[in-house]
Copies of this chain bind each other. A is one copy, B any other.
Amino acid sequence: MIESSNHRPLIFVSNDDGFYAGGIRALIEVVEKYGDVIAVAPESAESGMSHAITIKRPLRLKHVYSKPGVTMYKCNGTPVDCVKLGLNQVVPRKPDIMVSGINHGSNASISVIYSGTMGAAIEACLNGIPSIGFSLLDHSSEANFEPSKHYVEKIFVQILEKRLPEYICLNVNIPNVPLEQIRGIRVCRQTHGVWKEEFEKRIDPHGGEYYWLTGNFKNFEIGNPETDEWALENNYVAVVPIHADFTSYQALKGLQYLQTDHATQKI
């Protein structure tokens, strides 16, 4: 067991599939060996909630269970609400590490921006906590997380020991194949891609139209071995270091023409 100088590590856990999901159970099974776990997870499934916060209605926090070394709470908010409320109202001190997931389904490429699992991890990261979001490429609520636990543990243990650069967190996606088919771990970048929406239009019994959001992922750089999608297609675990600075530094210079300053020029 890895110990900090004078305490057992405090491990904060959240997810977006809800406190009862198989993925968070598997994640806690992996990390509880290494420290004290406090989990605050949504009371219902909050997939696709991105970095949303709840400001129009109040939040409720309920204790779900405690066992030696693990305490679970549920919250009626988004994944980011869970992290905010957990860090502000529940933890006795700043956690040593935060893990989110294991998500039921991929958060590779542009899916990172829609992901509640990654929203939670990024929120902890913004608060200066080394954070990792884990996702398994199986959307099923019955997904089998056993093979993925090997790599979750391998990555978790290294980050618990070595930490992460400040304000950087990890987006880890794991192929849905038997353990012996996984070829290793690739540190890579986010694939450039987009979800192309196809809405399914239906008519309700009262004649009203409604739409279900569906969609297909379009990879703009198929075959590029620098990308997380390539890693996953080739049965590697994909690890992307991410941050919350949206600035395109490349674009800054080309947009200088927009600048005006009344001290030196007219509007």
Q: With A184-B261, A201-B89 as known contacts, state yes or no: A213 contacts B53, CB within 8 Å.
A: yes
Best-surrounded residue of A85, A170, A248, A254 (most CB of chain B within 10 A): A248
Q: Which residues in B have their C-beta under 8 angstroms from that of A258?
A: 155, 158, 185, 187, 239
Closest residue on chain B to residue A182 by CB atoms: B262
Copies of this chain, how many? 2
A242: CB under 8 A from chain B? yes
Provided the pairs A58-B210, A242-B248 are in contact, do residues A259 and B185 lie with their beta carbons within 8 angstroms? yes
Q: A53, B48: Cβ atoms under 8 Å?
A: yes
Complex: chain B residue closest to A84, CB-CB: B197
Cβ-based interface call for A189 (8 A): yes
Q: Is B198 a contact partner of A88 (Cβ separation < 8 A)?
A: yes
CB neighbours of A184 from chain B (8 A): 259-263, 265, 267
Q: A50-B50, A50-B119 are in contact. Are A255 and B241 (CB under 8 A)?
A: yes
A-B contact pairs, 5 of them (CB 8 A): A48-B54, A51-B113, A85-B211, A113-B244, A241-B247
